[in-house]
Amino acid sequence: MKPRQVIGMKRLSALLVAILLMVTVAPTVFAADTSRAYLFDLSSNGKNSIEVLCGDIITVTLTLERTDNGADNTMYAMQDEIEYDKNFFRLIEDSVMLRSGIQSVSLDMRDNMRRLYMNYVSFAGGEGWSPRVVIGSFQMEVIGTSGASKITNQNALVSTRDGFSEYSSAVNDLTVIVSSVLTVRFESNGGSAVPDQIVSIGDKVVRPTNPVKSGYTFSGWYNDFDLRNPWNFAADSVNRNMVLYAGWTIDTTAMGNSTLPPGTSTVVDEGGTNVWVWVAVSVIVVLIVLVLLLIVLRRRSQER
């Protein structure tokens, strides 16, 4: 193979991995295959909860363990999106160390969060892995001055051979504690201001007075930016600094009982779900084209 062909295929492979990372942002729609089970474990010094001081540098390790039995297994593809609060942690970029074959990229999210993607794809029909594998490690500087924060696994999955399903998996997140006094902030999303609350680890948040917003009806508080996880003030306790987001629905009464056009929803979707569905579909189409192109290039290189 000529040097230019090698470089071209490496660039295409890197682009393909990046597309795969973007595709996995979309929710998985296939049921889990229970013939195998895995655990994605985030830890520091072998622990899932540590106490530190502001300014400390911690080493975080991501381990993937097969939990249904202790046998070796064939790995086809896996990925994890390691999410952290960039107001509490600073990733030391040159500290990222990865297992052979693992790709990684770090991206900013919309809600003051950042994600470190770790991804593996086998183009040779799978690779033999031990039942417990260290996927990678990285260092974080703790810049939060008080409270606690979590480094979490998001969209963690191990793919089946055909790529159309995933094996059953669980996660262990890492809690980093600077102090037992936590801050809960309320983001009213355009409504009236709601003051922060200071609570201790394990305590519950006091339900605040509902915010108001002209032309809208308050629908509740959520612990995620996309308003998918309602917060239960009676049952949920706080274990980290966090933000609760206000949800709103259009107040049709305030609009003079006007009838909305057919197909129009009164729910305000802050997450832009429909847009992301179309983005995911478009990316999948591009992915298929790139896979086919990669196969063609490999066959041509072998013929030469």
User: What does the pLDDT look like over 162-171, one tens digit per residue?
Assistant: 888 999 999 9
Of 88, 87, 90, 66, nearest to 138 by C-alpha is 90
Do 171 and 33 share a structural domain? yes
Q: Please state the rounded mean pLDDT for residues 229-239.
A: 96
**Could you tell me the pLDDT band of residue 139, with boundaries at 50, 70 and 90?**
very high
**Could you tell me the pLDDT band of residue 280, with boundaries at 50, 70 and 90?**
low
* Mean pLDDT (the chain, rounded): 83
User: What was the pLDDT predicted at 182?
Assistant: 95
Please report whether residue 142 resides in a domain: yes
Helix (H) or strand (E) holding 84: strand 77-85
Beta partners for 97? 137
Do 55 and 148 share a structural domain? yes
Non-local (6+) Cβ contacts of 28 within 8 A are 155, 157, 166
For residue 123, the one-letter residue type is: F
Do 83 and 35 share a structural domain? yes
Beta partners for 128? 74
The alpha carbon torsion through 94, 171, 57, 102 (nearest 10 deg) reads -10
pLDDT at 31 over 80: no
pLDDT at 93 over 60: yes
The more confidently predicted of residues 37 and 282 is 37
User: What was the pLDDT predicted at 110?
Assistant: 81
Q: Please state the rounded mean pLDDT for residues 186-214.
A: 96
Do 77 and 25 share a structural domain? yes
User: What was the pLDDT predicted at 300?
Assistant: 59
Please report whether residue 234 resides in a domain: yes
Do 154 and 69 share a structural domain? yes
Of 105, 25, 21, 42, nearest to 277 by C-alpha is 25
pLDDT at 79 over 70: yes
The CATH number of residue 220's host domain is 2.60.40.4270
Q: What does the pLDDT look like over 43-73, one tens digit per residue?
A: 999 999 999 999 999 999 999 999 999 899 9
The more confidently predicted of residues 303 and 173 is 173
**Could you tell me the pLDDT band of residue 197, with boundaries at 50, 70 and 90?**
very high
Helix (H) or strand (E) holding 218: strand 216-222
The more confidently predicted of residues 15 and 117 is 117
pLDDT at 257 over 80: no
Please report whether residue 49 resides in a domain: yes
Q: Please state the rounded mean pLDDT for residues 162-187.
A: 95
Round to whole Å and give the CA distance between 117 and 232: 30
120: its two tokens: 């593996």
**Could you tell me the pLDDT band of residue 32, with boundaries at 50, 70 and 90?**
confident
Beta partners for 105? 117
Round to whole Å and give the CA distance between 40 and 56: 25
Q: Count how many domains the chain has.
A: 2
Lowest mean pLDDT: which of 8-22, 235-249, 258-272?
A: 258-272
Please report whether residue 139 resides in a domain: yes
The CATH number of residue 97's host domain is 2.60.40.680
Q: Which residue stretches of the chain are H helix?
A: 3-23, 273-303
Round to whole Å and give the CA distance between 301 and 9: 10
**Could you tell me the pLDDT band of residue 22, with boundaries at 50, 70 and 90?**
very low
The more confidently predicted of residues 257 and 198 is 198
CA angle 200, 204, 207 (to 5 degrees): 125
Q: Which of 179, 210, 227 is the last residue of a domain?
A: 179
pTM score, whole prediction: 0.73
User: What was the pLDDT predicted at 219?
Assistant: 96
pLDDT at 191 over 60: yes
C-alpha pair distances (Å), 304 with each of 5, 10, 277: 11, 18, 41
**Could you tell me the pLDDT band of residue 4, with boundaries at 50, 70 and 90?**
very low
Beta partners for 41? 63, 172
Do 24 and 170 share a structural domain? yes
Question: How do 181-187 and 242-250 pair as beta strands?
Answer: parallel
Do 238 and 187 share a structural domain? yes
Structural domain boundaries, residue 222: 181-250
Beta partners for 35? none
